[in-house]
Amino acid sequence: MASIIQNIFSFFALNNFWSGILTGVIGSVIFAFILARIRPRVKFAKYISKRRARKGETLSGVKYLIQFWNAGWRSIIDVEISAKLAIRGLDANYPRNFTYFTIPLGYEKWPRMKKRPIKERTRGLLVMVKLMARSGQRRSRREEPSYHQTRLDLHRIQELQEPHYASFLYGKLQSKPTIRQELDTSKIDEFNLTKDPKLLEHLLELGDSFDASYIEIYISGYDSFSGTKRLSTKKYKHKDILAKDFYGKDLRIP
């Protein structure tokens, strides 16, 4: 009888041991899954803002700005940003292929992208409601201090610094009558191509279709709580380059 009771206790003890391990494993998997879902959230403006540059800021006298912000509830750390220009059909022998150019930026990394405080989110919502009630009134800059902006430094594209490749691109631009006329009006040639005030638009119009070519922005960073890294991307096309600020006001460009 004693041996039977001992066997029963041994059976339950063994089962409790394995069930404890199984529960621990399942709990760890669930926790890891939940933690992996806590990721950074970055949003981008709907268009690239083209505007007048400050003296000495660019060679062309105009600049292209992109805007983005942390849309999550936590800060994003070790943030890196990059941009590329993709032109389809630049090589006539491979009309469906893309040629990629890295676009240097005003800044490309920083340690932390702060979250928007809850009180600021609430205030932004109230402001939005007020603006909807007052047509034609735009949002004040002070109400969205968490927005980040950086410049697309087209004049620093490596290929444009190489005389041979700049000459190749200039020849491609000259083959399009509308672009050729605009370049002649601005007195742009292969030696000062980076001074073209419509350089980004003209590059996007190269290839077989400017609607297929695009600029893509990449932002990566780690969630400050979970440590999960996420890559956020945004594509812009020719039609997304507007002479407006990020509040919808039209801008005058020389």
What is the sign, positive or negative, of the torsion defined by CA atoms of 168, 92, 174, 54?
negative
The alpha carbon torsion through 165, 167, 170, 172 (nearest 10 deg) reads -70
Radius of gyration of the chain from its Cα atoms, rounded to whole angstroms: 27
CA-closest candidate to residue 64, choices 95, 16, 102, 105: 105
> Is residue 200 predicted with pLDDT exceeding 70?
yes
Domain residue extents for the chain: 1-37, 41-116+147-242
What is the percentage of the chain residues whose pLDDT exceeds 90? 48
Mean per-residue pLDDT, 214-218? 96
What is the sign, positive or negative, of the torsion defined by CA atoms of 37, 43, 60, 194?
positive
pLDDT band, very low/low/confident/very high, at 36 (cuts 50, 70, 90): low
For the stretch 53-102, pLDDT in tens is: 988 888 899 999 999 999 888 899 999 999 999 999 888 888 889 999 99
Among 110-119, 172-181, 237-246, the minimum mean pLDDT is found in 110-119
Q: How far apart are CA 160 and CA 104, in angstroms?
A: 12
Cβ proximity of 145 and 127 under 8 Å: no
pLDDT: which is higher, 233 or 1: 233
Question: What pLDDT does 79 receive?
Answer: 95
Q: pTM here?
A: 0.76
CA distances from 130 to 71, 121, 139, 140, 141 (A): 21, 14, 10, 12, 15
CA-closest candidate to residue 246, choices 105, 109, 43: 43
Cβ proximity of 236 and 64 under 8 Å: no
* Three-state secondary structure call for residue 108: coil
- Mean pLDDT over all residues of the chain? 81
The distance from CA 136 to its chain's CA centroid, rounded to whole angstroms, is 29
Among 22-26, 183-187, 197-201, 206-210, the minimum mean pLDDT is found in 22-26
Cβ proximity of 203 and 67 under 8 Å: no
Question: What pLDDT does 30 receive?
Answer: 63
Q: How far apart are CA 5 and CA 157, in angstroms?
A: 81
Question: What pLDDT does 184 receive?
Answer: 93
For the stretch 118-168, pLDDT in tens is: 554 555 555 555 555 554 444 444 444 478 999 999 999 999 999 999 999
Residues 6+ apart with CB under 8 A from 150: 65, 66, 81, 105, 106, 107
Give the orientation angle of helix 163-174 with respect to helix 177-185, to 10 degrees: 120
Pairing of strands 241-242, 48-52: parallel
Q: How far apart are CA 120 and CA 254, in angstroms?
A: 36
For the segment(s) 41-116+147-242, the CATH number from 3.40.50.1580, 2.60.40.1400, 1.10.3210.10, 2.40.40.20 is 2.60.40.1400
